[in-house]
A and B are shown apart, each in its own frame.
Chain A
Amino acid sequence: MHREVLFEIVRTAVAILISLFVVFLIVFLVSSQPTEALSKFLIGPLSKVRYFSNVLELSIPLIFNGLAISIMFQAKQFNIGAEGAFFMGAVAATVVGITMNLPRIIHLPFAIIAGSFIGGILLFIPAILKSKWNASELVSSLMLNYILYYFGIFIINYYLRDVNAGYMVSYPLNSSVLLPKLMVGTRLHYGIFIAIAMIIIMYYFLYRTKWGYAIRMTGLNEKFAEYVGINVKKVILYAQIIGGIIAGMGGAVELLGMYTRFEWQKLPGYGWDGIIVAILARNNPLLVPVAAFFLSYIRIGADLMARMTDVPSEVVSVIQALVIMLIAAESFMAKWRHTMVVKRAKEEFYVNNGGSLQ
């Protein structure tokens, strides 16, 4: 067990190093100031409190989506709808935040619950299509993302658009619904505590409850799970609904913490980032914040690099793709693991037989 963990840590580190190395190569190829660019990329986020706070701020939506994807991937459901659920969660929070006038203590939780609720309902769609008619949740959730995007934009544009704002945004949200800031001078908000709470709840749910166990068993071996009496169809349903709830909650928290109006003109892409986070974290809720922090760090680093040098920030897409592929690659460094296992077995053999092979 111990060695397995060590192996995974080393493997992840090597995957990250290889991807960083490839990015270094690219930067040296395209930039006229490569060392400057790389130092901004690697240590830029640490150079100012504000930049580091940016890293934490960006971690929040990544944690929510990472958790949402993790729980669905644990059940082997390739539902990519977190993107749309996150977006609609924010739209729902906007509707609640603009149209209602309530005291803060009710208004804020209600807006977050509304976002979670919508997210859960929406990801119920690909889930039910899968469990009832066996329609691929991958394709249907991909299509759903586009539908939800247009639907969300429709709601904002037709009902909540502030025509006096000069650009395409909603009316300002009531101040009673906004998540307070944690630190003056930064955008870091109390949503980070909600994220941490969700990490703990999801860990407990997945590893300490019957339902969580059923999810993990279904993911490991659907046939076996069915054989031992787990209602696989039900598991497929609720794993995706819970994923939707978390993603929707994330959308609401992101909107209420970071914005005062609904401003997105396109899908923010955090749902896809959630996949990267989930793979890095091996679908384990406790590792999700670490993975989210890493992804967030290289994103902010790349942004700083793009702002101050001539390298576009999209260079991180190379890291992301390579990290996913290498970590998900079963055979990547498998030889090393094999020799390690053999060595260990030999050692044990020696010990048990008094140090000789006879």
Chain B
Amino acid sequence: MKILEIIFSTSFGYAILRVTTPILFAALGAVISDKAGVINIALEGIMLMAALWGVIISAFTHSAWWGLVAAIVSGVLMSFILAYFSLNLKTDVILAGIALNLFSSGGTIFILYLVAHDKGISSSLKSEVLPQMTLPLVNKIPVIGPIFSGHNILTYIALLAVILVYVLLYRTPLGLRIRAVGENPDAADSVGIGVNKIRYIALLLSGILASFGGAYLSMGYVSWFSTNMTAGRGFIALAAEAMGKGTPLGTFFASLLFGFAGALANNLQSLRIPSEFIQMIPYIVTIIGLVIYSSSQVSRIKKVKEQ
């Protein structure tokens, strides 16, 4: 019954939010690009690149904030490349995303070696960490306080981003255009919406969100960069977006589920289960979640057809 003890502790609640943060950022990025009708497979690579640049620039400027800025710039650049190739040169967006991911996983090692003379970890760089925030008043509340207070500032920005993405998509003219372009590009085009322009904007926004996630990984979750440290979070984010039916709130809850699985994996290391099995948990949960979601979609379509 040690598992229950772990799950029902406030530190576990804290851990869920901590693990959810990077997935949530990337998943919100997936929401925006998906709403515009382009699948952003490159989230993984964008996160990884952002994580690296955050560390490098924060080490050289001695400022975590400049690191964050650099991370975002790198994310914008990566998604610009993705957008240019998929929208202007008509490269299949999945293949372009795969190419960018491959570029990131090799390119980050290349850059890391040039800057830190190491191919594995950035420990020779004195990089900075974004600050943690204690929420006034909230931190005094029992149970809630220890779970919600004292997180990295990016965790709060991620939670805020859920609302911002919702407002953007459903309460602004740009959001309306994004959704129109995703639902029917030809119809959107016929009423004078520049389809490519909107998709460019959506991909750039999606890249910015993913780079927040990457910056969090190397400047919050841990305080260094290591090769392939994203470990599939960009892909898990895609699954979270699918499970969340593409809505910001649904995606938030799906991300929490994966955060839960991840936190469980981190916390069960002390139990006498082979660690390999525990590390599988988030990925297994992702597949199960994906199947449940997809099969519910299939049966819904069937019902509609029968009527």
A interface residue numbers (CB < 8 A to B): 30, 78, 80, 129, 132-136, 138-140, 142-144, 146-147, 150-151, 153-154, 157-158, 272, 275-276, 279, 312, 314-318, 320-322, 324-326, 328-332
Rounded to whole Å, the gap between the CB of A158 and the closest CB of chain B is: 6
Residue of A nearest to B96 (CB): A325
Contact status A151-B280, CB under 8 Å? yes
**B 267-307 contacts with A by CB, 8 A:** 274, 276-277, 279-280, 283-284, 286-287, 290-291, 293-295, 297-298
Chain A residues, Cβ within 8 Å of B114: 30, 312
B102 within 8 A of A: yes
B185 within 8 A of A: no
B90 within 8 A of A: yes
Q: Known contacts A150-B280, A328-B91; decide if A136 and B290 are in contact (CB<8 Å).
A: yes
Contact status B89-A331, CB under 8 Å? yes
Contact status A328-B109, CB under 8 Å? no
Of the candidates B102, B238, B290, the one having the most CB atoms from chain A within 10 angstroms of its own CB is B102
Q: Known contacts A135-B291, A158-B274; decide if A325 and B286 are in contact (CB<8 Å).
A: no
Rounded to whole Å, the gap between the CB of A44 and the closest CB of chain B is: 18
Q: Known contacts A312-B119, A314-B110, A331-B90; decide if A150 and B103 are in contact (CB<8 Å).
A: no
Contact status B109-A143, CB under 8 Å? no
Contact status A331-B88, CB under 8 Å? yes
Q: CB-defined interface of B145-165 with A at 8 Å, one 1/0 digit per residue?
A: 000000000000000000000
Ranked nearest first, the 10 interchain pairs of A and B with the lowest CB-CB distance are A317-B106, A321-B103, A329-B89, A154-B276, A324-B99, A314-B110, A133-B295, A330-B90, A135-B294, A329-B91
Residue of B nearest to A320 (CB): B102
**B 100-146 contacts with A by CB, 8 A:** 100, 102-103, 105-107, 109-110, 113-114, 119
A142 to B232, CA, bound (A): 8
B71 within 8 A of A: no
B168 within 8 A of A: no
Q: Known contacts A129-B287, A139-B238, A331-B89; decide if A276 and B110 are in contact (CB<8 Å).
A: no
B235 within 8 A of A: yes
Contact status A153-B102, CB under 8 Å? no
A326 to B99, CA, bound (A): 10
Chain B residues, Cβ within 8 Å of A325: 85, 89, 91, 95-96, 99
Q: Known contacts A138-B94, A139-B238; decide if A147 and B102 are in contact (CB<8 Å).
A: no
Of the candidates B105, B106, B294, the one having the most CB atoms from chain A within 10 angstroms of its own CB is B106
Residue of B nearest to A306 (CB): B113
Chain A residues, Cβ within 8 Å of B235: 139, 142-143
B interface residues, tally (CB under 8 Å): 46
A136 to B235, CA, bound (A): 12
B113 in complex: contacting residue of A140, A312, A321, A326, CB < 8 Å: A312
B interface residue numbers (CB < 8 A to A): 41, 85, 88-92, 94-96, 98-100, 102-103, 105-107, 109-110, 113-114, 119, 231-232, 235-236, 238-239, 242, 274, 276-277, 279-280, 283-284, 286-287, 290-291, 293-295, 297-298
A328 to B95, CA, bound (A): 7
Contact status B105-A317, CB under 8 Å? yes
A325 to B95, CA, bound (A): 7
B89 in complex: contacting residue of A276, A324, A332, CB < 8 Å: A332
Contact status A157-B276, CB under 8 Å? yes
Contact status A272-B96, CB under 8 Å? no
Contact status B85-A329, CB under 8 Å? yes
B107 in complex: contacting residue of A153, A317, A328, A329, CB < 8 Å: A317
Jot down 16 A-B pairs with beta carbons below 8 A, ordered by A: A78-B94, A80-B98, A129-B294, A133-B295, A134-B298, A143-B284, A143-B287, A144-B283, A147-B284, A150-B277, A158-B274, A318-B107, A321-B99, A324-B98, A329-B91, A330-B89
Chain B residues, Cβ within 8 Å of A272: 98, 102
Chain A residues, Cβ within 8 Å of B119: 312, 314
A143 to B285, CA, bound (A): 9
Q: Known contacts A133-B298, A321-B99, A331-B88; decide if A140 and B106 are in contact (CB<8 Å).
A: no
Contact status B95-A317, CB under 8 Å? no
Rounded to whole Å, the gap between the CB of A109 and the closest CB of chain B is: 30
A143 in complex: contacting residue of B100, B232, B294, CB < 8 Å: B232
B283 in complex: contacting residue of A147, A322, A324, CB < 8 Å: A147
